[in-house]
Amino acid sequence: MPTERIITDDAPRNDNPYSQGVTAGDTVYVSGYGPVDPETHEEIAGDVQAQTERVLDSIAAVVEEAGGDGLDDVVKVTVYLTDLDDYDRVNEAYGAKFPGDPPARVCVEVSRLPGEVRVEMDAVAYLG
């Protein structure tokens, strides 16, 4: 099955050896994103809710660049938190971005994420 690398200026980019997203058929695999502003390439200011919103905006941008409808096409998300005490606040911001039927999800606590970020997510979307 042919794959296609997804590239957009509406999500953070860097020189690390990975793609922002990759399509395989009707499926889009979105790389992990922390709360980084795609224009300044800096971590955004704000609490974990603001960070969650920025992460989901980046995921939506990659799905849209692949030809999808942003978060509406997301079927699976993995959430990485540096502190599970943030779980409820992340859920508030997450729920606002997925007001209908939310995708399947995994949430895990990790010891560390790049920089000073508190949340990172990756996703799978279906464009069918």
CATH number of 3-126: 3.30.1330.40
**pLDDT, position 103:** 98
Structure tokens at 58: 């980046």
**pLDDT, position 14:** 74
Domain ranges of the chain: 3-126
**pLDDT, position 102:** 96
Segment 47-65 shows an average pLDDT of: 97
**pLDDT, position 42:** 93
Q: Is 107 a catalytic residue?
A: yes
121 three-state secondary structure: strand
**pLDDT, position 128:** 85
Its pTM stands at 0.95
Segment 68-95 shows an average pLDDT of: 98
Cα 19–Cα 73–Cα 82 angle in degrees, nearest 5: 60
Burial (CB count <10 Å: 0-12, 13-18, 19+), residue 59: buried
* pLDDT tens for each residue of 13-53: 877 788 999 999 999 999 999 999 999 999 998 899 999 99
* pLDDT tens for each residue of 85-118: 999 999 999 999 999 899 999 999 999 998 889 9
- Letter string b/e over residues 30-42, b meaning 16 or more CB atoms within 10 A of that residue's CB: bbbbbbbebeeee
- Amino acid symbol at 27: T
Confidence of residue 59 (pLDDT cuts 50, 70, 90): very high
Pairwise CA distance, residues 72 & 35, whole Å: 20
Set 44, 50, 107, 113: catalytic member: 107
